[in-house]
């Protein structure tokens, strides 16, 4: 006999409580165990049970997979409205919490920071861009089809491999996927990723190969057409790395400037190889 679910989290808002309660009721009505539901929607049991726990607002992708796995004929627009209501309340709560913390910080933090004092940790690039986009949308009341894409903006602002790695972590966390989830999902694609490879990709300072990056993005739920911006950014950063590692000779006094074209060839070869791989992957 399956173990009964834990009570909905006490700190959940009314909107979130309503959402997860109806999700639970739908699954119980259809008599679908979490193990069977996980097979249907390709999310782990832990991810699905967490989505219906009320600890936090799950992503829309997980809610959609959950309810369609229980009932393919369910009214998705109605579920989207419930999720949006819970998401809006949670975003407002987070904004208030940040405002309170900002005004309660210790007085020593207000002192000028000297050169010896390390900078306080900042939000990730993706978080900052997403907050800016949300604030802009609330002020302008833009309709859904014309809203800005914060992730595409964040990719455009990437200047280091560390920035890129932070965005890779962000899409995994938003999809609420574990390393094992990504490994299992990657098996359906042409280049499966091991758990250790995923870990290295998210913790190292080296940019992933085109094939591994493509499989990772698909495993995180991105559509093939939405991976191009990621590939373009990775290629741009790789070219930047090559250019930084090259040290052109110092010009000698009273000598004619000589333009050396040799460093250009590695850049051209990198561009050509990356473009070929991206075209092949996105056409599959």
Rg (CA), the chain: 23
What global pTM score does this model have? 0.47
pLDDT given for residue 127 in this prediction: 61
Of 111, 106, 155, 149, give the one whose Cα is nearest residue 130.
149
CA separation for the pair 112, 108 (Å, rounded): 9
DSSP character for 115?
T
CA separation for the pair 195, 182 (Å, rounded): 8
Contact criterion met (CB below 8 Å) for 143 and 181: no
Token pair 């829309």 in the structure block, residue: 60
Cα–Cα separations (whole angstroms), residue 45 to 28, 36, 178, 216: 15, 9, 11, 20
Contact criterion met (CB below 8 Å) for 94 and 68: no
- Copy the structure tokens of residue 278: 């991206």
pLDDT (tens digit per residue) in 115-155? 444 443 445 566 665 565 555 555 455 454 444 567 888 88
pLDDT (tens digit per residue) in 220-237? 988 888 899 999 999 998
Contact criterion met (CB below 8 Å) for 164 and 207: yes
Q: Where are the alpha helices (DSSP H) in 104-223?
A: 125-140, 150-157, 161-174, 179-186, 195-203, 210-219
- Give the residue ranges of the chain where pLDDT is below 50: 100-103, 105, 108-109, 114-122, 139, 142, 144-147, 253-262
Cα–Cα separations (whole angstroms), residue 21 to 25, 36, 257: 6, 19, 73
Domains of the chain: 14-96 (1.10.260), 149-247+263-282 (no CATH)
pLDDT given for residue 85 in this prediction: 92
Tallying the residues shown for the chain, one arrives at 284
């Amino acid at each position: 006999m399956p173990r009964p679910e834990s009570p909905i989290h006490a700190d959940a808002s009314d909107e979130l409580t309503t959402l997860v309660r109806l999700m639970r009721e739908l699954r119980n009505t259809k008599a679908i165990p979490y193990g069977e539901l996980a097979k249907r929607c390709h999310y782990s049991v832990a991810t699905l049970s967490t989505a219906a726990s009320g600890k936090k607002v799950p992503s829309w992708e997980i809610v959609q997979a959950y309810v369609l796995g229980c009932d393919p004929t369910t009214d998705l627009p109605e579920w989207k409205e419930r999720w949006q209501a819970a998401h809006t309340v949670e975003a407002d709560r987070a904004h208030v919490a940040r405002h309170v913390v900002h005004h309660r910080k210790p007085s020593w933090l207000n002192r000028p920071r000297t050169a010896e004092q390390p900078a306080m940790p900042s939000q990730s690039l993706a978080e900052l861009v997403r907050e800016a986009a949300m604030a802009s949308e609330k002020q302008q009341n833009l309709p859904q089809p014309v809203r800005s894409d914060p992730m595409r903006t964040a990719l455009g602002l990437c200047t280091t491999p560390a920035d890129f790695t932070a965005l890779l972590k962000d899409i995994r966390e938003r999809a609420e996927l574990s390393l094992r989830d990504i490994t299992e999902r990657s098996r359906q694609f042409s280049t499966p990723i091991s758990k250790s490879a995923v870990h290295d990709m998210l913790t190292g300072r080296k940019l992933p190969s085109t094939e591994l990056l493509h499989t990772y993005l698909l495993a995180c739920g991105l559509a093939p057409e939405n991976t191009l911006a990621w590939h373009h950014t990775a290629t741009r950063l790789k070219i930047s790395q090559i250019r930084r590692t090259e040290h052109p000779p110092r010009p000698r006094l009273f000598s004619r400037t000589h333009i050396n074209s040799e460093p250009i060839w590695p850049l051209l070869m990198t561009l050509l190889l990356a473009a070929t791989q991206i075209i092949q992957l996105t056409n599959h």
